Amino acid sequence: MMSSASETMEKLVSLCKRRGYVFQSSEIYGGLISCWDYGPLGAELKRNIKTFWWDAMTNRRDDIEGLDAAILMHPQVWHTSGHVAEFTDPMVDCKVCKGRFRADQLEHAHCLNKPSKTPETCGQSELTEAKNFNLMFKTFMGPIEDDSAVVFMRPETAQGIYVNFLNVKNSSRQKLPFGIAQIGKAFRNEITPGNFIFRTREFEQMEMQYFVPPAEDETWFEYWREQRWSWYERLGITMTKLRWHEHKDDELAHYAKAAFDIEYEYPFGWQELEGIHNRTDFDLSRHMEASKKDLRHFDEATKEKFIPYIIETSAGCDRTLLTVLVDAYDEVEVKGETRVFLRISPRIAPIKAAIFPLVKKDGMPEYAQNVYADLKKRFKVFYDESGAVGRRYARMDEAGCPFCITVDGQTLEDNTMTVRDRDTMEQSRMTVDEVVAFLAERTAV
């Protein structure tokens, strides 16, 4: 039984707060718009998603190196990349409702006085002429706040990779083609953030830049489209809710030869989840010209020097986490009661298993606590002895825990416990050693 789009998001936001996934930032002071804090389960899920991405992009490959570049960079980086001049959105203000809107997305905006209407159809709007608004946050480095001290909070992590291209290539002794991967914070002063953690002003990116010979760019572009599509299947996302969107000529960024987005069908419509772009040699060429450093690659086979082309895969960690939660959210009627299940893949679930004593007597709590202590050495597990076992199951289903392990009277006789699967409701009896092997197989990245 599914709800309308707005109801689904309201229920998900409520669940996230109730179960400790996501909280409003600075909530006790009224909150800060479009800023969010990750609670105990949210922090764990986010870490698991990043680990799952990092493992696929670096640990299992010999051709991709990791990087952790600084957030603050030389301001010339952003002039060279074009962000200072071109990283803008067109903005209009309404003199009546005092709202501020993106001029190119008015048909999707909501009038502040009449939320059911757009700023153009509310019948009372008085919109200003569109003007460009740069999305980068500025700050000052050092004690003097003047133009010479201006630095920017990075709006993307990619530039940190480009300016370190030679450092990574030379220190790792990589040959083309090879990639550089990075997970890190980025900041954009969005005009109209929203839809919970879908679009925020502070967010985390998972990006990989793959450097290739220019003649091989199209081959590698298709390769990475396939790789990134299959990653979401391994993540446990419903594949029928994903699709490709190709950027037409009027959509392409100034640096791109080709671009495809992986889109997901959220309750609020189809939206971008990840972008795969052929950035050609635009970035390295610009930085080579501005820095006067030779960023060309020497091909030992052909004895030629050239500037590599770049195939970029760019995903938002926060947006991926939202996708996981939206995709996992399920409401089921159980014995006349609406139950909520978060069917998160065991590979990334924040809690892998919960351990219960059936009752708080006859030595069951002591046995269950010993099992908990053993499993905790290898897995993120949870112990609960409060309330009826059915209620405990329901709490863990809602929290996204895939397996519940119950110690009962038979356990004390033959050392087997009941292992219950969240999604199938099937129950099996296993020893502790069998439980360890069972969880290891199902939670392996």
Q: What's the pLDDT at 110?
A: 81
Give the Cα separation of 259 and 251 in Å (integer). Answer: 9
Q: What's the pLDDT at 120?
A: 87
CB within 8 Å of 64: residues ≥ 6 apart:
57, 58, 178, 179, 180, 181, 208, 210
- pLDDT tens for each residue of 330-388: 999 988 899 999 999 999 999 999 999 999 999 999 999 999 999 999 999 999 999 99
Q: What's the pLDDT at 116?
A: 79
Regions of the chain with pLDDT less than 70 = 1-4
Give the Cα separation of 26 and 59 in Å (integer). Answer: 37
Give the Cα separation of 33 and 191 in Å (integer). Answer: 11
Q: What's the pLDDT at 363?
A: 93
Q: What's the pLDDT at 3?
A: 52
Q: Helix, strand, or coil here: 85?
A: helix
User: How distant is the alpha carbon of residue 127 from its chain centre?
Assistant: 35
The angle that helices 432-443 and 364-376 make with each other, rounded to 10 degrees, is 40
Q: What's the pLDDT at 105?
A: 80
Q: Angle at the Cα of 37 (from 34 to 40), degrees rounded to 5?
A: 155
Give the Cα separation of 417 and 430 in Å (integer). Answer: 5
Q: What's the pLDDT at 1?
A: 41
Q: What's the pLDDT at 99?
A: 82
Give the Cα separation of 429 and 150 in Å (integer). Answer: 64
- State residue 317 phi and psi, 5-degree precision: -65, -45
Buried b (16+ CB within 10 A) or exposed e, 225-264: bebbbebbeebbbeeebbeeeeeeeeeeeebbbbbbbbbb
* Interstrand relation of 269-280 and 258-266 (parallel, antiparallel or unpaired): antiparallel
Q: What's the pLDDT at 413?
A: 95
* Interstrand relation of 353-357 and 403-407 (parallel, antiparallel or unpaired): parallel
Is residue 66 a contact partner of residue 54, using CB atoms and an 8 Å limit?
yes
Eight-class DSSP state of 20: T
